[in-house]
Structure 1
Amino acid sequence: MVACVGAACNFERDYEIAQEPLFREIELCVRGSDYGATSWTTRDQAEQAAARLGLERGRRLLELGAGSGWPALFLATLSGCDVVLADLPLSGLRIARERAARDGLDSRCSVLAADGAALPFADRSFERIHHADVLCCMDRKREMLCECRRVARAGARMEFSVISLAREPAGDDERRLLQQSGPPHPDAGVDYAVLLKECRWTLLERIDVTGEFMRCMEVLIQESHARRAALVELLGDEDHAERLERRRCTCAAVERGLLRREIFFAQAAGPAARHGVGLA
């Protein structure tokens, strides 16, 4: 069966545009943050993640797909932990480094370009790992979860959010709807609980946050209508219309039960093999 795909994203450009004051005002309404976020993590969800992960001064957190720093820099500010931000788009990493400096996190934050499916870290380097809506933007999901396990210390905790395919599309109309919505790679092939077990993670908690995701999307659409003139001036009429249509399609996909957003909280289980995790 052909994997279901969604609309592609231009993260390099999105990170730059999201720093505009207008976009940060909208982000504050939608998520309660002003970092230029591309994930759908709300401030409340970030605070809950800090508590579940047991973040505190002296702990080292790896944030994958860190983008412009949300929620990793907020987690570091909130808890006092050290944080390593890893991602590929250089525009996001540059913005994150600048925000870390403004927030006084220079001594506790490092930034590097890295592929989540091929991490440049030694085995057992981290005791806490976090990523927000990253797996649904890449097709090498299993490889990334295995890499997370490889660099995780014994008993390490990991939390991530992900937008996934809740059911197979019924016909071409629903398949086209998914292609017009986000994220680009919602189809994991199997349930994430299965992927986690195969990559030697023990699932501790699974939280459905689809309702909150839908609320955020609806607020974003409302704000886009309310600020249409300013957004068109900034983006151009075509770009603004395309962005709005993609969000409408995502809402429609959620309403039809095609997409869902969940948070997974897991702990490293069993010995990780060097340079990879056995899938026995």
Structure 2
Amino acid sequence: MVQPVQHIVIVGGGTAGWLTAGVIAARHQGRRPHGFTVTLVESPNVPIIGVGEGTWPTLRATLKTMGVSETAFFRECDASFKQGARFNRWTTGAAEDGYYHPLMLPQSFGQVNLASHWLAGEGDASFCDAVTPQGRICDAGLAPKTIATPEYEALANYAYHLDAGKFADFLRRHCCEQLGVRHVLADVEEVLLAESGDIRAVRTAQAGEVTGDLFVDCTGFRSLLLGEAMGVPFRPLNDVLFCDTALAIQVPYDDPEAPIASHTISTAQSSGWIWDIGLPTRRGVGQ
């Protein structure tokens, strides 16, 4: 008889680890009185990689599932709206060259395909301007919702820009305080396998053995469980990647009252591109 999974262990923190813990714990709150547990093991000596400041609209549903207050999220994670991306100088390279990739679906999507009409047209309107108002909303510096719009609902589809380090810490507090996730600060020294070849426990330097029925690897490039313990090979794609290196920095605003762009700005260069993400207190820039 197959036994139900009762004890889930996530190895690795950061946004990946805490989002995983939060979604699992939130979906199984009713099983907690019956012994269901979620444990996250995180090294106190491995810093969080502070990139990935742009998100996708599906994160709204994820945070809502976890019971996160969107208002608290904005305040504590230095977050701003993301309504899409503007690609500057990607077509001709001229200073005025640019187009939007909006997060809104074309108007009347499902009833009429505006894309085909745009393709057949002879005008010079961009695809975004022809099928959605979102590019104009971004140009005007407007938000995708009003102050009265309920949390996670939208008048124009949106995602978030955020401070990845603050976001991970915010998720940790929410998971531990609201969802009952057990947090173990410890360095994993050894992964212990059962006779079946499955992982049965991890041995840590500070907290001894942590056992579980199911383990999730959120250790990033180290791939502690999948790569080192289970021997799952890493598949490099260097032969098809046009860019395989990035440099990210945090840049202060010249003017504290400067407007915050509600879209990612991506400017083409001779090699790669420069991204510019506006947060309430700074910009995240990189190439």
Greater fraction helix = 1
TM-score, scaled relative to structure 2: 0.29
Relative contact order: is structure 1 or structure 2 higher (C-alpha 8 Å, sep ≥ 6)? 2
Normalising by structure 1, we get a TM-score of: 0.29
